[in-house]
Structure 1
Amino acid sequence: MFFFERAIAKQIKNGGGPYFRYIDDLFIVINWPVRHLLKQIERLNNFDENIKLKANIGSFTNFLHLYTENRDGTLFTAVYQKPSYEPYYLPSNSIPPLHMKKNIPFIMLLRTIRYCSTFQTYLSERENLRMASLLNKYPNKIIEQQFNNVLLKFNIDQPLTINNYNKYRQNVLDSPYKEPTGIDYDKVLFIHFTYCSSMEMFPLKFHTLWSKSFGESPINEITPVLRIRNVKNLQRRLTH
């Protein structure tokens, strides 16, 4: 992939176009004559049978989950769903802890705000997300709570409307990205346990017992972090 990508990146850079890569997906915008573009795509597709580029000539395209369109000089974006998309997320009644499941509607709505450039598309995608969450047995109370938490995270103290959407969306887009902090493995102790419904209160009880037992001990300088393992059920045995 390195040798393949290096040749393309050099061409695009010389042509003054943007070049993006996410894992093994490339997104390139270039202003070449149609015949030259198709010839270059054909040449590059012969480099390796496992790597294929697709030419998209027109005013719209999609990359990963983002739909992009040039509407008379105005950039329009929205969430793109692949043809194989199915509205199946981690079910609310599944084994993993609640905080993991609550994060799904939160992240999905945040993506919706970032991707949807108009209030109408945001509204439509938000309701699609709500319906998908309900189909996966998420209570409407949790859905609304997580939707509100997205707004609170960016200090938005009122509902999004057609009048304020562009302003608040820009605030979300301009918010600084926090780099993941490194882990000091000398001061962090990872503890894995198999999660099931009867273990729901285990993390709270563990931290209470840890503080009680090691509160005055030097070992208390070490931070315990609990992680879960999946239950070895029949489904996992059949799929792994």
Structure 2
Amino acid sequence: MLPQEESIAILKQFLNHFKYAHVQRMTVDAIESLVRIVLMENVFIYEKKYYRQIKGGAMGSPLTLTLANIFMWHWEKTLVEPQRNSNELYGRYIDDIFFTSNDSIDKVNKMLADANKRHSNIKLTATIDNPIPFLDIHIKNTANNFITSVYHKEAAEPYVVPFQSDHPRHVFVNIIDCALLRAIRYSSTLQEFNHQRRTLKLMLLYNGYPTRYIYSRFNKFFAKCSITSTSIIPMIHDENEFLFLRRQLLEQATVPEHRRAARIAKTMDYNNFHSNIDPLVKAKLLKRRERANSIILHHTHEKRFSHYKRDIHRIWNDIFHNTPVQTTKLIVGTRNNPNLSKELVRRSPFIRNRNKNNKKQTTN
């Protein structure tokens, strides 16, 4: 649970430490005032009563997650420094920490006990073992070498979106491509990757994916990643080529990095930007410029409307052929059907009553 006043003080310390006098034209004082409003004026409804949160922040809020990371940045300073000085590994994702040590178990336990005394709201639960899972990675120390692979929880069921479900085709493509990408990035050896590849193939077969479709997607994925025009089969059996491919994919931008670049690009003018900006942000700006003269139509996906995209383009060409409008690019895409949680979610009484009042005013 984040202490509100202390979190705001640490946020200011964080901004000053990294010399952020302004963030998107906002001063540190303005940011403090806005954060104070979000944290301390957060209200919710329970059994027709209004409550104001006085500890922590709203779960799922981007601001709460950011403040938690900054709070942990401040807390972990005394833990990180000894690790750096002794050339050990240290990593953290939100409140999950991974580090290595050559010290005795007693010394490590004492270090963790001291860390638990630093703040009443932070208590570490330690797991010291070999091998050990961290997030979704399985890490093993073998002869002073780390062997990594994809971690599968024992209770996890081998389910993905069934092939017979009413989803756009790109959903099934993304499932396979993302799983292969994760297997390559997480597997430190070719042997581990081949094991993950076989596991993925069995899971897809279990969920109704045709064998021909699976092999087709595997081949297209490897053909897209291959640096040579030769068959991909030798690469699967060649350790050096696999490690080269893995190194290439590890250097690619991750999904959070793409999202961050997209957020930054939205705040910039795509017709006027510096050439020395981040390449990923530049790519997002160029994509915005390319789509500036486009019309994007989305419709809810249904298999019976599989011809819809083709028909829309045909009608567009029939009507606007040889007209200035033809230079406008038409993009027809699909939206997924709403999932069950969205259909069954309960809206708050305040929102329901407000919608009823709006309808009454419209009727009158």
TM-score normalized with structure 1 length? 0.80
In the alignment, is the contact (CA less than 8 A) between 1:18 and 1:30 conserved in 2? yes
In the alignment, is the contact (CA less than 8 A) between 2:167 and 2:301 conserved in 1? yes
The answer on 1:201 being equivalent to 2:313 is no
* Residue segments in structure 1 that go unaligned for 5+ positions in a row: none
The answer on 1:167 being equivalent to 2:241 is yes
Structure whose CA Rg is larger: 2
Relative distance call for 1:198 and 1:121 in structure 2 (3 A) is same
In the alignment, is the contact (CA less than 8 A) between 1:9 and 1:19 conserved in 2? no
Alignment partners' CA distance in 2, 1:186 and 1:135:
43
- Partner amino acid for 2:96? L
In the alignment, is the contact (CA less than 8 A) between 1:192 and 1:229 conserved in 2? no
| Alignment deviations for residues 65-108 of structure 1 (CA, whole Å, 9 cap, x no partner) | 21111101112011101233111101101111122212212221
The answer on 1:14 being equivalent to 2:81 is yes
Alignment partners' CA distance in 1, 2:135 and 2:185:
14
* 80, 91, 108: which one aligns with 2:179: 108
Identity %: 25
Could you say which residue in structure 2 is the equivalent of 1:177?
Answer: 252
- Partner amino acid for 1:10? K
Alignment partners' CA distance in 2, 1:117 and 1:166:
11
Q: Give the C-alpha shift of residue 126 in structure 1.
A: 1.5
Relative distance call for 1:119 and 1:172 in structure 2 (3 A) is closer
Could you say which residue in structure 2 is the equivalent of 1:74?
Answer: 145
Q: Give the C-alpha shift of residue 56 in structure 1.
A: 2.8
In the alignment, is the contact (CA less than 8 A) between 1:190 and 1:227 conserved in 2? no
Alignment partners' CA distance in 1, 2:71 and 2:114:
13
**Matching of residues 125-136 of structure 1 within 5 Å:** 125-136=196-207
- Partner amino acid for 1:204? R
Alignment partners' CA distance in 2, 1:224 and 1:140:
32
Could you say which residue in structure 2 is the equivalent of 1:190?
Answer: 296
Alignment coverage as a number of residue pairs: 235
Which has a greater percent of helix? 2
Structure 1 segments (4+ residues) deviating >6 Å: none
- Partner amino acid for 1:121? E
Q: Cα RMSD between the aligned structures?
A: 3.1
Alignment partners' CA distance in 1, 2:317 and 2:80:
56
Deviates more, 1:144-153 or 1:33-42: 33-42
Q: Give the C-alpha shift of residue 165 in structure 1.
A: 2.8
Q: Give the C-alpha shift of residue 219 in structure 1.
A: 6.5
Could you say which residue in structure 1 is the equivalent of 2:156?
Answer: 85
In the alignment, is the contact (CA less than 8 A) between 2:112 and 2:124 conserved in 1? no
SS of 2:233's equivalent in the other structure is coil
Alignment partners' CA distance in 2, 1:136 and 1:160:
29
SS of 1:57's equivalent in the other structure is coil
Could you say which residue in structure 2 is the equivalent of 1:151?
Answer: 222
SS of 1:47's equivalent in the other structure is coil
Deviates more, 1:125-134 or 1:169-178: 169-178
- Partner amino acid for 1:108? A
TM-score normalized with structure 2 length? 0.56
In the alignment, is the contact (CA less than 8 A) between 1:66 and 1:78 conserved in 2? yes
The answer on 1:124 being equivalent to 2:195 is yes
The answer on 1:56 being equivalent to 2:121 is no
- Partner amino acid for 1:69? K
Relative distance call for 1:125 and 1:3 in structure 2 (3 A) is closer
In the alignment, is the contact (CA less than 8 A) between 1:77 and 1:117 conserved in 2? yes
Alignment partners' CA distance in 1, 2:187 and 2:97:
19
Alignment partners' CA distance in 2, 1:45 and 1:104:
41
SS of 1:91's equivalent in the other structure is coil
The answer on 1:47 being equivalent to 2:115 is no
Alignment partners' CA distance in 2, 1:123 and 1:12:
37
In the alignment, is the contact (CA less than 8 A) between 1:195 and 1:231 conserved in 2? no
The answer on 1:35 being equivalent to 2:109 is yes
In the alignment, is the contact (CA less than 8 A) between 2:136 and 2:152 conserved in 1? yes
SS of 2:171's equivalent in the other structure is helix
* Residue segments in structure 2 that go unaligned for 5+ positions in a row: 1-67, 259-282, 347-364
Relative distance call for 1:70 and 1:109 in structure 2 (3 A) is same
Alignment partners' CA distance in 2, 1:127 and 1:30:
31
Q: Give the C-alpha shift of residue 228 in structure 1.
A: 1.2
Q: Give the C-alpha shift of residue 129 in structure 1.
A: 1.0
